[in-house]
Structure 1
């Protein structure tokens, strides 16, 4: 499929779609989730592109919905379907379903609908679906705790391009490596010449590092899973709650995801957690250790009677000695105990290991001082050591996790994609179940509906009267006001729209031909002016000339002009539609006049009122074939004639015969 050949897809959009792994497969499948990952393509835009691609694939010229009212019915049916989706994706994906005249497209969707209607809908599945969203690409990954180093300008350029996530530094010699090692937790030297060089810090000589990015920058692979972690987990829950075939081991994938935080860090590792906690608590722990030492020393001073002979005091003063010297002379042991307590508190509160504890203890010196204070340079060194240890361990764990997840991106995409498509299928299943739908049968001619209920009525579906109605050729539909003529047209229109979308219809059974277009004209409000009248007549001229295999539904066209002229115009339109092989139903109160005017025998169907009960019409909602229904005035006059002996009502009633 040529991307630029799809209607509405320009060169810029085609280039964006081309960046996807398999845009043609996504277009054929109507895969809105995949299409929306193309740069600059929103889900709504993706749905429109998919719909256009489907039309192209099935050689469908479009234009099935030929009037505003036909499009309104389609939108109403689509809204009912979208209301039963759980995900935003599902609602957008529904937009790719449309009524088509192309048999291949109808059959394609029918196959999908048949499978969907066999599915069982459970609350557990719907709850799990609530957390599923299309996967997104992570933002650019940037790692600053490690760097690549080289002495070669060409290697520098290659490294910048191959691994943009890491800083790349140019060094001249081992001294340059040593300088970098003081600023980064890990330095990866790309030159073989550095092999065997020993410098302080974590320096690794890996000449082949650029060919294995996962080892060097595991964050690249992990970023995708970190960004989409919750969505993948939700998709796993969907698969567990249904009979969907999983593309991978769900337990293994979920276990791997449990080791990852939402920002791409390592989760659930005790050592990383210990180091992170130590870093977070370091300053507070140092301050508390000082307090421990000073409290101890203060208590010791308060409990001791320090006696200094005059000669000793004079000697101390002459030497300019202060309290530190006094402490050293009189309270040396107590000071040592206080400092040891501070050191122990710092080590224990931060849960430091042996090597870290050795550094931490140097934060409090042996030289007496009051108040006891820490050595900030030692605390800074401890912070650097803890940070480096944490970053090194995280990097190692990230490598291990990236090795496990790197090849599972496709599985994750398939997992989420299947869950999102399930939402669409379940929406169809719920629609079919809520409205007692069935899949229609396509035949050669007309429409036959049994037990149909219009979804456009303002009453609960189960309270609507079922309607049987058939259309063969051209017919007039007569009946009393509020008897259900318009709702019958709505039923026919919605059934045809859903059927030619390939979806189930709200009826016990439906047989219909595959129409080329649907022309549904709603009731006109008031008489049209000359210009609007001319436009309406022109529109019917187009339908009459090219309306073969089309379905035309018209509601009280006589309101466009004077009743006498209306009957003649409608009769002429019906004659043209009949000659052209169209199927049509015109609702009209002028059925008798139109039938007399037409030059062929027009079928007149009637929605018959059984009578009046307490002033309310009792109506048989299913139209009676070849029957001109009595009007409301006739029923009222008949009722009055039956209740009175006055001959006046009888005379009026004779006028209806």
Structure 2
């Protein structure tokens, strides 16, 4: 696929994504963690890329959230969901849910969400999720005991790119390969032309080596599992706590991880441990063995009287003889015994096998000397042999372990992905439970039926907003349904703005494919949501003109919009505001848009409009001890009384005077 065709992907990002094994499939999958493994792409950026891929897949080119306030409501909804996640991945993954005008996208999201709400947000599962993170690719491990060899320049370049962990050497003939075998524990020849090669050393002719990296450089796979050990163990624990069917066999996974150290080396093999210790302790063992021999000779010399005839002594002096000659002549048996003890001590300390002990014998046993001296060349040869044996065994064990882990490589990707996706599902499930949510019906704009049951607008029953500054359980439920252009009247602090917030939240969540905080809800699939918050004071001429331009663009826009406006009259004088609002409502009515305008000028606007404007009201039952008693659900076709009217009515009842009665008659 053409990556640049996805919204939000430019040339630089596309180049980074192409570093992935299968960039097209990865991006299309919407797997935020997999996308984030591209160089320079963090999880937040990966979520935007995944969202862009979703939009492209559904042909979803529109922008539902058309105003700042609408976008604020969306951010509040996302925050409510994110607060219920455990992992950073889930918090970013939820960003791929957005209010869509695409029916196919809404259906897709609803299918995911409906399954998610069936999950049980068990605290034990949440605890297990704390250790789960997306898998990471460790830095390239440099392997120095092994090399690749080729006589072909093209193969050389391909090998350097495919296997950066190993040195790639150029060879021309068997002599070059033989030279490499003396420098490396293992040489892997890539050219078929060298098949049947017979040279000393651990040399393998494997033309397919680049296609089997787990066998050629098992350190890569081992480093991956070592770096991700805690993530894998946590993901396994999540599957067990949630009683999920794991993609990988957890017993095999744990057994394999137990054989792997944190640095990617194999552990638990006694022979490898013996060889490693032998190489590490070689110098110390030599020194200890020398001390054993010296102590034995020193003891022998103390216990014996050595007599030398004068002529013999003169002859030895004239020949420049040293004490070594005396040892050879007078203490030959004792010297041999001391060397035997040194060899025995040396072999026991390093736990040498019989074939290795033969090399060890050469370390001691040269010309007699006191103190006893070792043969450094023999020590070097033994070190080389032990190191080579260690490296060969380590390589074999790595290859065997890598073979076992290779079968788990793809399953563990799915294992971790499933655990992370479970966190996404559990967050949605918790959201649905915490706010008594239900899956809404999102209907086509032209659906047949009455406005209260289907088709145009929205219908909310027992809706409660989690955006209020009160505990959710203390929020009063609201019933409200609107189809067409409507004015919402009501007393101050009666809940008109809260009602708009609830409507906006329900519509945004519904078109995200999410559950909504209501007993039931039906929402038209809106192309755009325009929500205008209350203006802070009268606007100057320039700001007033800009606001009118916004509404001019609004009424000339596409069909299928929801328009929510909170007290637009505050932008200018009340008389002019009523006329302006009436004109806007007329244009929206002609376009068959759904609109709710909160206003204290409902009577004036209705008088100024050239159509029968629907008016709903949030009615106050009256004042009790100075506080409003309000029915929060708007009454259809009702112009609610204002707070001043209620106060005047109360005063007229409390005081029997014509003044308050006359004031009341003016309302």
Same fold (TM over 0.5): yes
CA distances 1:605-656 after superposition (whole Å, capped 9, x unpaired): 33334444554444333333333333334444455555x6473773475256
Match of 1:59 in 2: 59
Aligned to 1:471: 482
Q: In 2, Cα distance between the equivalents of 1:299 and 1:633?
A: 118
- Larger deviation: 225-234 or 376-385? 225-234
Q: Is the 8 A contact 1:306 1:330 kept in 2?
A: no
Tell me which residue corresponds to 2:541: 530
> Is contact 2:128-2:234 (8 Å) kept?
yes
| Matching residue of 2:596 | 585
1:421 aligns to 2:421 (yes or no): yes
For residues 563 and 19 of structure 1, what CA distance do their matches in structure 2 show?
A: 61
Q: Is the 8 A contact 1:485 1:607 kept in 2?
A: yes
CA 1:159–1:574: 2 relative to 1, 3 Å:
closer
Q: Which residue of 2 aligns with 1:81?
A: 81
Using a 3 Å threshold, how does the CA distance of structure 1 residues 435 and 181 change in structure 2: closer, same or farther? Answer: same
SS of the counterpart of 2:96? coil
Aligned to 1:390: 390
State the 1:244 CA deviation: 4.0
Counterpart residue number, 1:510: 521
Q: Is the 8 A contact 2:171 2:177 kept in 1?
A: no
Q: Hey, what does 1:566 align to over in structure 2?
A: 577
Report the Cα distance in structure 2 between the residues aligned to 1:358 and 1:195, rounded to whole angstroms.
31
CA gap of 1:102–1:351, structure 2 versus 1, over 3 A, is same
Cα 1:330/1:416, change in 2 over 3 Å: same
Farther-moved stretch of structure 1 (18-27 vs 179-188): 18-27
Contact 1:640 1:649 in 2 (8 A): no
Q: CA 1:439 to 1:314, structure 2 compared with 1: closer, same or farther past 3 Å? A: same
TM-superposed CA distance for 1:536, in Å, is 0.9
Structure 1 pair 94–354 and aligned structure 2 pair: CA distance change class (3 A): same
For 1:551, the equivalent position in structure 2 comes to 562
Pick the aligned partner of 2:657 from 637, 644, 647. 647
Q: Is the 8 A contact 2:486 2:615 kept in 1?
A: yes
Query: Equivalences for 1:323-338 in 2 at 5 Å?
Result: none
The CA deviation at 1:64 is 0.7
Q: TM-score, normalised by structure 2?
A: 0.85
Pair 1:207–1:481, CA change in 2 (3 A): closer
Q: What's 1:412 paired with? A: 412
- Equivalences for 1:131-170 in 2 at 5 Å? 131-137=131-137, 139-140=139-140, 142-149=142-149, 165-170=166-171
Q: Secondary structure at the match of 2:556?
A: helix
Counterpart Cα distance in 1 of 2:662 and 2:319? 138
Q: Which residue of 1 aligns with 2:94?
A: 94
Residue 195 and residue 541 in structure 1: after superposition, are their counterparts in 2 closer, same or farther (change >3 A)? closer
The 2-side partners of 1:24 and 1:329 are apart by: 84
Paired with 2:90 and 2:630, the residues of 1 have a C-alpha distance of 40
Query: In 1, are the aligned partners of 2:156 and 2:168 still within 8 Å (CA)?
Result: no
Which residue number in structure 2 is paired with residue 430 of structure 1? 430
Offset from partner CA, 1:566-602 (integer Å, 9 cap, x none): 1221222222222221111122222233233333333
Kindly provide the CA deviation profile for residues 479-526 of structure 1, in whole angstroms up to 9, marking residues without a partner as x: 333332222111111110000011111122212221121100011112
**Structure 2 equivalent of residue 455 of structure 1:** 466
Q: Is structure 2 residue 497 aligned with structure 1 residue 486?
A: yes
Match of 2:605 among 581, 589, 594: 594
Alpha-carbon spacing, 1:605–1:337, altered in 2? closer, same or farther (3 Å): farther
CA distance in structure 1 between the aligned counterparts of 2:346 and 2:658, rounded to whole angstroms: 113
Report the Cα offset of residue 94 of structure 1.
1.7
Counterpart in 1 of 2:633? Answer: 622
Rounded to whole Å, the distance in 2 between the matches of 1:522 and 1:470 is 20
Distance 2:612 2:157 in 1: 86
Work out the CA distance in 2 between the residues paired with 1:505 and 1:50: 24
Question: Structure 1-normalised TM-score?
Answer: 0.87
Q: CA deviation at 1:71?
A: 0.7
Partner of 2:109: 109
Give yes or no for contact 2:618–2:633 (8 Å, CA) kept in 1. Answer: yes
- CA 1:646–1:206 in structure 2 vs 1: closer, same or farther (change >3 Å)? closer
Paired residues of 2:648 and 2:664 also in contact (CA < 8 A): no
Gaps of 5+ in 1: none
Q: Distance in 1 between matches of 2:652 and 2:11?
A: 76
Deviations 1:288-331, CA, capped at 9 Å, x for gaps: 55555556666777x75867789588777666556656766787
Comparing 7-16 with 324-333, greater Cα deviation is found at 324-333
Q: How does 1:222-371 map to 2 (within 5 A)?
A: 222-290=222-290, 311=310, 342-360=342-360, 362-365=362-365, 369-371=369-371
Q: Quickly say closer, same or farther: Cα 1:461–1:322, change in 2 above 3 A.
A: farther
Deviation at 1:370, TM superposition (A): 4.8
Q: Distance in 2 between matches of 1:650 and 1:151?
A: 108
Shift of 1:214: 4.8
Structure 2 CA distance for partners of 1:632 and 1:176, relative to 1, 3 Å: same
Contact 2:649-2:664 within 8 A present in 1 as well: no
Cα distance change on mapping 1:162 and 1:634 into 2, 3 Å: closer
Please tell me whether the aligned partners of residues 645 and 664 of structure 2 are also in contact (alpha carbons under 8 angstroms): no
1:539 Cα shift?
1.4
Q: 2:628 and 2:605 mapped to 1: Cα distance?
A: 26
Change (3 A) 1:125 1:323: farther
Asked if structure 2 preserves the Cα contact closer than 8 Å seen for 1:192 and 1:207, the reply is no
Contact 1:159 1:168 in 2 (8 A): no
Cα offsets for 1:321-357 (capped at 9, x unmatched):
5665676678777766665555444444433333334
CA positional deviation for 1:554: 0.9
**Maintained 8 Å contact 2:588/2:595:** yes
Report whether the alignment pairs 1:180 with 2:180: yes
SS at match of 1:554: strand
Distance 2:357 2:553 in 1: 92
Over 3 Å counting, the alpha-carbon distance change for 1:155 and 1:62 in structure 2 is closer
Structure 1 residue 180, shift from structure 2 partner: 2.9
CA distance, structure 2, for counterparts of residue 338 and residue 553 of structure 1: 101
Q: How many residues are aligned here?
A: 653
- CA separation of 1:368/1:648 partners in 2, compared to 1, >3 Å: closer, same or farther? farther
Q: Do the aligned partners of 2:652 and 2:661 also contact (CA within 8 Å) in 1?
A: no
Distance 1:474 1:332 in 2: 118
